[in-house]
Structure 1
Amino acid sequence: MFGQGRSLIIIMLFLAGVINYLDRSALSVAAPFIQKDYGLSTGEMGMIFSSFFVGYAAFNFIGGWAADRYGAKTTLLLAMVLWSLFSGLTVLTVGFASLVLIRILFGMGEGPLSVTTSKMVNNWYTPKR
């Protein structure tokens, strides 16, 4: 029974990763409409896409530290709440600056996913297993 519970958690972590990547790439689908509605140049759109990675890269490291200090489950939960919040707030943007800000914050929420899920799997499935 305990093994089945772990397997379910692994599947849920995998699904969180799938949602993470789908959520991250959703802006690509909407980009032509956003660019037209906000009157953005191709260069500005590139900066909007790139701004995500500012928060993402920084919070990969910060997420690892937080997972060690506060626990991977707590860190992952907070990260998922933040990325969901900022994903939803994307619809409230009004132009270039607000899109850049939301994408940075969105990246901060998504950054800890890989390190926290890796830590959880590593803790549950030791080399002896």
Structure 2
Amino acid sequence: MMVAAVMMLGTSGTALAATPTPGSRSWEADTRTDLFFGGTRADGSAITSAEFERFLDADVTPAFPEGLTWLPVHGQWMGGKQASYLLILLYPESNEQADRNIEKIRTDYKHQFGQMSVLRADSTDHVSF
């Protein structure tokens, strides 16, 4: 099943929550973490979708079993363009274990695939399921 979400951005680029209509579900504030994973090893070989999915299955899903979203994307870092992967995690602000899990995911990816960095961007989103 595919779920589509629409997010409106304010003039500052921050997410704005849509106003719930009468009878709609209530909105909750969740932390959103975007992780950007390089898709090319130091030797120039690609990290395939299958390899990335195995990493998700072994390292990410056990830490975030409620769900996640990942996308193949294109990026540029330090002057080089490369295929990359974007992982989007939404979790309650009260999840005290999330930060430790995310840092472990970043460290594991760097070690497994010879990456220098995994970009992390956190924000607060208003969500309704």
Q: Which structure's relative contact order is higher, taking Cα pairs within 8 Å and 6+ residues apart? A: 2
User: TM-score, structure 2 length as denominator?
Assistant: 0.33
Going by fraction, where is strand more abundant, 1 or 2?
2
**TM-score computed with the length of structure 1 as normaliser:** 0.33
